[in-house]
Structure 1
Amino acid sequence: MKFEGGDEDDKIISQVEVASSGDAEKVSSSRFMSLLASKDRDYLLSPTGSQVKVSDLEGHVVGLYFSANWYSPCRNFNPVLSNAYEQLKASQSNFEVVFVSADEDLSAFNSYRSSMPWLAIPFSDLQSKKALSHKFDVEGIPCLIILQPGGHKEEEVLRDGVELVHRYGVEAFPFTRERLEELEREEKEKHENQTFTNLLSSHDRDYLLGHHPTTGQVPVASLVGKTLGLFFSAQWCLPGMKFTPKLISIYHKIKHVISQRPGVEDFEIVYVSSDRDRASFDSYFALMPWLKLPFGDPKIRALARHFDVQSIPCLVVLGPDGKTVTKHGRSLINLYGEDAYPFTEVRLESLHRQMDEEAKGLPKSELHAGHRHELTLVSDGTGGGPFICCDCDEQGSGWAYQCLECGYEVHTKCVRAAGGASTVGP
């Protein structure tokens, strides 16, 4: 997480504030006025469209929310922030959010703002919105900048509010350095002490659900000693729906290999659903041969926060002792298939060396049927790295064929000649 101090004006304000508590209140109010008001406007818009004085933000922790209706990550984050905001308001906290719109027209602004329970800078005030984006160096949206009340020099601007709300929810409030360091310590302790039981059980449930009509309850305790995958997905998620058949195939292959090797730890997967209704949940899980958490179970949100799952599909792999092995199971399966099991560092190092050896026999460049430019073989150390394959739309890392002109990138196994056949790889 990043903390950054204010500019020179903020330093001057800080010096003035230490003079007296009365002066500090005036400076604090002046700071919000200089940021959020203009020469023609001293108010913000409420959710109902009424005017709220900028000076009313005195004493509040303020989140500047840079967002737009046309961008799906913003629309996805909006309900997450709304939920945290409503909880904080219900607890009488001094938290407020101000929407800084990047919408393309007034109609889109009004439509998007109708889903927001907080304040907004008027759409017509383009100058103020540009000034805020410039001051806080906003390079991407959604972006949540947190400002503390007052303005003393030891108080700092927090720029990764989106990540923190995703990760900690209302527990991040009041977004101070001390609070976030405390949460990091607590999170580290939780990861060090995590077990299958405290991850997957609750006070009124010590089981998971399977497909058997009469013996569908599977004790969480029975998973101890197995390698476990937590599959975060949802039926509405197209990448999740596309990845699921591959995961099912790999699951069966891993189970088959284990059955042929006595003494090897068993493998299981648990579906952690983000489905929006039970019908979608039931129809999606009907495709899966593994276990699930009950629909709407509170542990679902807790697990997403614990493992900082910000996008789906995601496959988190736990070792037989319940400790985290990797949060990149999806990428590893796309890269290595069933050979990735049991996903440990030792296993992955062996596979990486094997891939490096195989890459020595690959052509240094290829013409791919799906792209007009020549593709160059790259690795992590020669300009490659984690990517989304432009041919199969799945994650990849390590060796790839990349277009040095436009960044187009594909798995080595996805390269196809003009006739459609694979030219390299298995």
Structure 2
Amino acid sequence: MRAVMKDETQAVVNDNSHNGKFSHLLASQDRDYLLSPTGAQVKVSDLEGKVVGLLFGANWYPPCRVFTQALVAIYEELKSRFAQFEIVYVSSDEDLDAFGSFYGNMPWLAIPFSDLETKKWLTRKYEVEGIPCLILLQPEDGKDEGTVRDGVELIYRYGAEAYPFSNERLEQLRKEDKVKRENQTLLNLLSNQHRDYVLSHTHSGFKQVPVASLVGKTIALYFSAEWCVPCAKFTPKLISVYEKIKQELAEKGEEDFEVVLVSSDRDRASFESYYSSMPWLALPFGDSETKNLVRHFNVQGIPWLVIVGPDGKTITVHGRSLINLYQENAYPFTNAKVEELEKKLEEEAKDLPALVYHEGHRHDLNLVSDGNGGGPFICCVCDEQGSSWAYQCLQCGYEVHPKCVRTVDRHNSVLITN
């Protein structure tokens, strides 16, 4: 999710007397330099001939802090290999102290906080509507035809491999991704030349389980970490659903479902502590395939649940949403199953009131669906994802799962069972 930028009504035209692409973009009539992390002034002209990323962000928005941390690692890797790369921070911080605090964690250049006009002009020129935003510019592209605007997604998906962030390089990466998807199997997803197993729990430690033994099953790849607060809420729910699905399959004499943890934990102790609470399998801590899986499935945040079918092909990358909506009934997560559940919801919705007054909210809530003003949302009661039917406040956007509504009488506030 990205914060929406405030509308800026004042347009600023930078001084055209500067020579070079980046001097025109990043200098002003009163300034021909950028700030460095040490506080030194670096001539804007020093950027000529380089690939330059413009990072629009702010200290006050948590996703900016998360993305910046990821970008620092990519930046340092690229700078060690390619001298012709630089990033310039374009701040939306609220004051100089906030700017200094945030920029203090960055190893790249920045437009001075006081130069509001250049920051406004860049925001308008590149139509920046939300942060974090990373605009990637090619050195010799005078008409901006090679400008790449989805830098945040590219960094999360490809990391340093996307350099030099040209359209040609990105097209090559997309073709490689397409080939991998077409040739995807469980074996090439979860194993490599160094490892052909995943881990399971034993009383004395970990046991190696051959990846080949999972072929033919529906597999959920659970991207998660102990430090992640939303993961702490979703993991117990997933454990409950997992155990119910396994029990139902066992009663039928089937063993067709498994979960594999793909950990983003920062140290082995955290991984082992977190995994010890789970009844399923896991990739080894720090395994090289973790980054490949994150990229392959375009994992943009955790918790993230990918469902792979018995044929080794991806069924859905929205397993978390399906679990939240349908719990164990979502299994086997196929389109046919989801359509069946959606039809059931449609029937149930016919008996729901069109308007309710919800406990703890001051406005009426209207029943909406994907087709009449609804869509994907985060429930304001349980903080989990939802789609299809919801109760929505048309005045302030408050949305609640129908199952989470606590209806009260508007006049005497007496609780009505729901």
TM-score in same-fold range (> 0.5):
yes
Partner deviation per Cα, 1:3-23 (whole Å, 9 max, x = no partner): xxxxxxxxxx9xxxxxxxxxx
Matched, 1:60 2:50: yes
Unaligned runs of 5+ in 1: 1-12, 14-25
- Measure how far apart 1:250 and its partner are: 0.3
Match of 1:4 in 2: none
**1:288 is matched with which residue: 278, 281, 292?**
278
Aligned to 2:195: 205
CA contact (8 A) 1:225 1:265 kept: no
1:254 corresponds to: 245
**Alignment partner, residue 366 of structure 2:** 376
Whether the 8 Å contact between 2:137 and 2:144 is mirrored in structure 1 is no
1:332 alignment counterpart: 322
More displaced 10-residue stretch of structure 1: 35-44 or 292-301? 292-301
Give secondary structure in 2 for the equivalent of 1:158. coil
**What is the aligned counterpart of 2:233 among 229, 242, 247?**
242
Percent of residue pairs identical: 64
Contact 2:21 2:48 in 1 (8 A): no
Matched with 1:222 is: 213
Distance 1:422 1:289, change over 3 A: farther
Q: Match for 1:178 among 163, 168, 176? A: 168
By how many angstroms is 1:317 displaced? Answer: 0.5
Q: Distance in 1 between matches of 2:313 and 2:236?
A: 27
Partner residue in 1 for 2:260: 270
Deviation at 1:40, TM superposition (A): 1.3
Q: Per-residue CA shift, 1:23-78, capped at 9, x if unaligned?
A: xxx99x43211210111111111222211111111111111001111211011011
1:109-188 alignment, distance < 5 Å: 109-153=99-143, 155-188=145-178
Paired amino acid for 1:159: R
Q: Tell me, what secondary structure is at the counterpart of 1:210?
A: strand
Is contact 1:392-1:414 (8 Å) kept? yes
Q: Secondary structure at the match of 1:271?
A: strand
- Of 222, 225, 228, the match for 1:231: 222
Q: Which deviates the most, 367-376 or 320-329?
A: 367-376
User: Relative to total residues, which structure has the larger helix share, 1 or 2?
Assistant: 1
SS in 2 for 1:269: strand
- Cα 1:45–1:215 change in 2 (3 A) is closer
CA distance in structure 1 between the partners assigned to 2:83 and 2:219 by the alignment = 39
Q: What letter is aligned with 2:191? A: S
In structure 2, distance between residues paired with 1:414 and 1:105: 40
Q: Which moved more, 1:147-156 or 1:113-122?
A: 147-156
Aligned-residue offset at 1:370 = 2.9
Deviates more, 1:68-77 or 1:275-284: 275-284
Which residue number in structure 1 is paired with residue 79 of structure 2? 89
2:399 is aligned, of 396, 409, 417, to 409
2:291 equivalent in structure 1: 301
Matches of 1:246 and 1:186, distance apart in 2:
36
Distance 2:417 2:201 in 1: 41
Give me the TM-score of the superposition, normalised by structure 2. 0.91
Q: Deviations over 1:259-278 (max 9, x none)?
A: 1224x561100111112222
Answer yes or no: is the 8 Å Cα contact 1:61–1:146 preserved in 2: yes
Aligned-partner residue type, residue 312 of structure 1: I
Q: Contact 2:223 / 2:304 at 8 angstroms: preserved in 1? A: yes
CA RMSD of aligned residues (A): 2.0
SS of the counterpart of 1:382? coil
Contact 2:20/2:48 (<8 A) preserved:
no
What's the TM-score, normalizing by structure 1?
A: 0.89
Following TM superposition, by how much is the alpha carbon of 1:411 offset from its aligned partner in structure 2, in angstroms?
0.7
